[in-house]
């Protein structure tokens, strides 16, 4: 996170958003409610990962119910050219499935460290490293050049910009597509930023590996349009291969009114195999957020998955109720209940889960 001593139009815009926007976290519903783009709060223009100077200030002062004296909005700022960030999520969980198997556990959900180097105002080297659980894994390592117009070019290891940037990697739309915060890839992305619209064009290996394993690349296009409290977006992705060709099309959007923010996404994935067979999967998500006071948000989520449209009665549903409370700066507490329902022949996939999570961020 970086603070420039000479505030330009971007900082003035950020200050305007700070003064006239409600509180929230760096999740899609927050951007929709603010009627802002993800780049308002994040180093990565498409959201997720490290927060920029406004994102850090917003999360420290505007998000919590009370501002803490134990930390600072600039705690990750080392110099004008070097910034650090981090996220840590620790869970306590209880789960029971339809076969009466029970499990209780404490677990480290995730821990990330972020580094951003800015040798110039337009050029950024960005690193996103997962340090827990398990061994350290690099999630993003890229160079980004941002033009004065707001357009940008990125090259390196990065996330494919597909649909809503949901924090929950277990969401059915993220698990079904395979494009989430656990699946980055090497490639190049060009982003065009306009007043009410944004467009991303990207080419990647399509393998989520260090290098490509065939002569084909993944090609994608993602666009969004903002109209007041309503936003609509879509992603088109093609990943041809020697054994199979994958096509993904999704439509997503949201609407914000007073304390309410609604999000929705529908994904259709078709895989055509070399032997002439094919598979079509469909996944959907509908989310309601109600934020009636500073630092407190209620999230209701309904999800649906059809893993093979040629097979009847194989659908999966998931419903969640989550309360998010941010009592102090840089600390969020979450508690939720989640019900997943699969086919009767697989009772282990029909589960009820209770969980509590402590989230530290800076």
Alpha-carbon radius of gyration of the chain: 20
Determine the Cα–Cα distance for residues 80 and 120; give it in Å rounded to an integer. 10
Using alpha carbons, list the distances in angstroms from residue 146 to 51, 77, 218: 16, 20, 23
Q: Are 234 and 251 in contact (CB under 8 A)?
A: yes
> In the prediction, which pLDDT does 17 show?
36
> In the prediction, which pLDDT does 326 show?
92
Q: Is the dihedral of CA 185, 45, 231, 25 positive or negative?
A: positive
Q: What is the pLDDT of residues 188-206, one digit of tens each?
A: 999 999 999 999 999 999 9
For the chain, the structural domain boundaries read 9-361
Indicate the SS3 state at residue 272. Answer: strand
DSSP 173-207: HHHHH--STT-EEEEEEEEEE-SSEEEEEEEE-SS
Q: Compute the average pLDDT of residues 275-301.
A: 95
Using alpha carbons, list the distances in angstroms from residue 205 to 158, 162, 181, 188, 217: 11, 15, 17, 10, 5
> In the prediction, which pLDDT does 292 show?
86
Determine the Cα–Cα distance for residues 97 and 118; give it in Å rounded to an integer. 49
Q: Compute the average pLDDT of residues 226-233.
A: 92
> In the prediction, which pLDDT does 6 show?
36
> In the prediction, which pLDDT does 212 show?
76
> In the prediction, which pLDDT does 47 show?
86
* Residue 231, token pair as written in the block: 């936003």
Give alpha helix (H) positions in the chain: 9-20, 28-34, 53-61, 172-177
The 3-class SS string of 20-79 reads HCCCCCCCHHHHHHHCCCHHHCECCCCCCCCECHHHHHHHHHCCCCECCCCCCCCCCECC
Report residue 66 CA to chain centroid gap: 26
> In the prediction, which pLDDT does 215 show?
87
Phi/psi at 247 (5° precision): -130, 130
Q: What is the pLDDT of residues 140-167, one digit of tens each?
A: 999 999 999 999 999 999 999 999 999 8
Q: What is the pLDDT of residues 233-273, one digit of tens each?
A: 999 999 999 899 999 999 999 999 999 999 999 999 999 99
> In the prediction, which pLDDT does 346 show?
80
Check residues 5 and 266 and name the one with the higher pLDDT.
266
Q: Compute the average pLDDT of residues 208-230.
A: 87
Determine the Cα–Cα distance for residues 38 and 60; give it in Å rounded to an integer. 17
Q: What is the pLDDT of residues 97-125, one digit of tens each?
A: 998 899 999 999 999 999 999 999 999 99
Q: Pseudo-torsion of CA 256, 260, 261, 267, nearest 10°?
A: -120
Beta bridge partners of 323: 298, 335
> In the prediction, which pLDDT does 347 show?
83
Number of helical (H) and strand (E) elements in the chain, helices listed first: 4, 16
Q: Mark 270-306 as b/e (b = at least 16 C-beta within 10 Å).
A: ebeeeeeeebebbbbbebebebeeebebebebebbbb
Q: Are 299 and 322 in contact (CB under 8 A)?
A: yes
What is the CATH T-level fold of the domain 9-361, as seen in this structure? Porin (2.40.160)
Query: Per-residue confidence at 30, pLDDT binned at 50, 70, 90?
Result: confident
């Amino acid at each position: 996170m970086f603070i420039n001593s000479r505030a330009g139009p971007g900082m003035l815009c950020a200050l305007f958003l700070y003064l006239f926007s409600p509180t929230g976290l760096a999740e899609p519903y927050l951007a929709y409610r603010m009627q802002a783009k993800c780049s308002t709060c994040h180093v990565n223009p498409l959201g997720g990962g490290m927060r920029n100077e406004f994102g850090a200030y917003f999360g420290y002062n505007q998000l919590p119910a009370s501002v803490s004296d134990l930390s600072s909005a600039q705690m990750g700022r080392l110099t004008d050219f070097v910034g650090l960030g981090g996220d840590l999520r620790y869970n306590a969980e209880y789960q029971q499935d339809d076969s009466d198997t029970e499990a209780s556990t404490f677990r480290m959900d995730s821990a990330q460290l972020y580094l951003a180097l800015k040798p110039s105002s337009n050029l950024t080297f960005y690193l996103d490293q997962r340090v827990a659980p398990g061994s350290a894994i690099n999630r993003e390592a890229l160079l980004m050049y941002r033009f004065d117009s707001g357009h940008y070019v990125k090259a390196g290891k990065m996330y494919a910009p597909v649909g809503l940037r949901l924090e929950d990697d277990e969401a059915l739309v993220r698990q079904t597509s395979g494009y989430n915060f656990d699946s980055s890839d090497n490639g190049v992305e060009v982003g065009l930023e306009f007043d009410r619209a944004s467009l991303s064009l990207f080419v990647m290996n399509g393998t989520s590996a260090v290098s490509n394993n065939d002569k084909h690349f993944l090609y994608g296009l993602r666009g969004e349009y903002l109209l007041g409290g309503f936003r609509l977006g879509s992603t088109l992705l093609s990943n041809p291969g020697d054994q199979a060709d994958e096509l993904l099309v999704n439509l997503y959007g949201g609407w914000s009114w007073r304390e309410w923010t609604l999000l929705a996404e529908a994904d259709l994935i078709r895989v055509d195999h070399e032997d002439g067979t094919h598979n079509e999967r469909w996944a959907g998500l509908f989310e309601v957020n109600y934020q009636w006071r500073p630092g407190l948000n209620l999230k209701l989520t309904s999800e649906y998955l059809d893993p093979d449209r040629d097979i009847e009665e194989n659908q999966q549903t998931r419903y969640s109720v989550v309360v998010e409370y941010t009592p102090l700066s840089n600390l969020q507490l979450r508690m939720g209940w989640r019900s997943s329902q699969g086919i009767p022949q697989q009772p282990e996939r029909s589960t009820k889960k209770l969980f509590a999570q402590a989230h530290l961020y800076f």
